[in-house]
Chain A
């Protein structure tokens, strides 16, 4: 049986000491989980080693933790794979050539630790979930029986319904690391679950609330950390982007310049084909300043805040060229290329197709010709229905 070393970040509040690292040697099949390894260490070496767990099958969402720095479920991470990752990380830099590295196990991030691998889910995760009004807001009149909606209108939110509230995305969130008040990936994915629900009647109010909050949908830094952490494929960041799209469709102008930034970006590419950063800055903070709109106080603050950076850009030569000096002077694509980009806009704006691979999946690739001889002989499908 292969042997693994688990290096666990421990914290025993009753001891009065700070956190410390402890290594445990465990023996188990590589296909078993990191959680199995922890439970073996608890059983054989130290009964006080604390971890939350229940189903051991990635259903209950209890055993969120960081394994080699990656947030996820202890029961869904095979110990053999965790060892491979530890070895890969140690193959470069200081650790290279230093013998077999341990699997590093830590409690989840972005939340207080109660003991060892047990974190306080209440003060962060559940508080943030409650922040988004996680229940259906209907028109107040209870129906005689259930509320009937076409099944296809619910397909869109099945991805967020798959959430098991394990907190792995919260643990991984890089925005929350910088801004603990960020509503965060789990709660915002939950918010989309109701925004996308055809039975909910407060959609616009929900979107307005989440767009206006400085720690709301525009505080997500688009880093994909939650996407990789989620054991159920919820892709919380994608749900946050859907919330932004819905807020944008509803023309909700937030005080964080999120909507303006998006509109300015889209418009600039339509006009120039490539990004005019100087114009993007100006338009994000103060759209239409050349026209009649007067920038809001927050926009003026933003613009003034960006002035020292602009001055440094000038000094170093970054922004010394004319197009960088005067927003809007940025060159267009050569020849008729710009006109062609514009035509793409017309087509896309007419259709606005949105596909979600979580729901549609990837279509099966037809076997290569030389593989056909190994595939099943084709069964006659019978008479085809006329289309």
Chain B
């Protein structure tokens, strides 16, 4: 399996452990990644809010760079998935608009081509694991089942809504994939209120109270439901749930302290990688408890 890989901005910025653990996990799974290091930010919905055409052109450029490799594209960020799917939907809907956008790219020898049969696509690592790699194949690679580890899924809005745009008609189970992956890795699913809710990150600079109330509430609910950790396919959710967790604790006025893993880290642990190899010491909320649980419960 070989893919054009868009790591996104945050995985090479505040959450370098995500980029690192993805590289490690891809190698162990036998997935070859061709990094799109000349591609640009997806705009995270913010650029579209400013100028829709600008966001569409920026993402058309990234898609075109991926298409140039002859490979489908993989991302590791729910927000990238959502923002890019939104642009792709507009580009695919209207050939005239697509030509107009491609005009802006023609000087760079690039052009985004709509794939009528969906053979070229852009999928988050989570979707790819379930739909293309296969859960049985994943389970067969597990060296250290996550037995006894109670994991709360946290999806990130952009990968679950809006359903009409995100291919749920074709893949209706996309909003239970995290649970399926946790199961395939031998972990225990923790049900709590926040799994498909918003982490609050998009408004953290505009309404800190609203933002951190959301993050703190979800982390607290997961703790109350008995979670040892959360797992998320979105580094922006990670920023609010992990990096801001001590601040969120103050806003919701309770003790928190729950490890938040990136999806490749959870997969990596089950593949036998050590927490250090997966950069888990770079988190703000301590990940030691996860390690202790894994040691305490024999695989």
Complexed CA–CA distance, A321 and B244 (Å): 19
Judge if B176 is at the interface, Cβ distance under 8 Å.
Answer: yes
Chain B residues near A337 (CB-CB < 8 A): 38, 40
Structural contact, B205 and A261, CB atoms closer than 8 A: yes
Q: What's the minimum C-beta distance from A188 to chain B, rounded to whole angstroms?
A: 14
User: Chain B: which residue is nearest A263 at the CB level?
Assistant: B50
Structural contact, A179 and B54, CB atoms closer than 8 A: no
Partner of B41, one of A273, A353, A363: A273
Judge if B84 is at the interface, Cβ distance under 8 Å.
Answer: no
Interface residues of B in 150-192 (CB under 8 A from A): 157-158, 161-163, 172-173, 176, 179-180, 183, 189, 191
Structural contact, B38 and A333, CB atoms closer than 8 A: yes
Structural contact, B206 and A353, CB atoms closer than 8 A: no
Judge if A174 is at the interface, Cβ distance under 8 Å.
Answer: yes
Chain A residues near B100 (CB-CB < 8 A): 351, 353
Number of A positions contacting B (CB below 8 A): 84
Partner of B13, one of A224, A324, A344: A324
Structural contact, A308 and B247, CB atoms closer than 8 A: yes
Judge if A121 is at the interface, Cβ distance under 8 Å.
Answer: no
Judge if B273 is at the interface, Cβ distance under 8 Å.
Answer: no
Q: What's the minimum C-beta distance from A261 to chain B, rounded to whole angstroms?
A: 5
User: Known: A91-B176, A344-B58. Contact between A221 and B210, CB under 8 A?
Assistant: yes
Structural contact, A360 and B94, CB atoms closer than 8 A: yes
Structural contact, B49 and A309, CB atoms closer than 8 A: no
Chain A residues near B198 (CB-CB < 8 A): 174-175, 221-223, 225
Interface stretch of the complex, out of B25-33, B101-109, B290-298 = B101-109
Structural contact, B282 and A363, CB atoms closer than 8 A: no
Interface stretch of the complex, out of A51-59, A195-203, A310-318 = A310-318
Q: A: which residues have CB within 8 A of B? A: 88-89, 91-94, 174-175, 177-179, 182, 214-215, 218-225, 227-228, 235, 241, 244-245, 248, 256-258, 261-263, 265-266, 269, 273-277, 281, 284-285, 302, 305, 308-309, 312-313, 316-319, 321, 323-324, 330, 333-335, 337, 340-341, 343-345, 347-349, 351-355, 357, 360-363, 365, 368
What are 6 inter-chain pairs, A to B, with CB distance below 8 A?
A273-B40, A333-B40, A344-B54, A344-B105, A349-B51, A353-B100
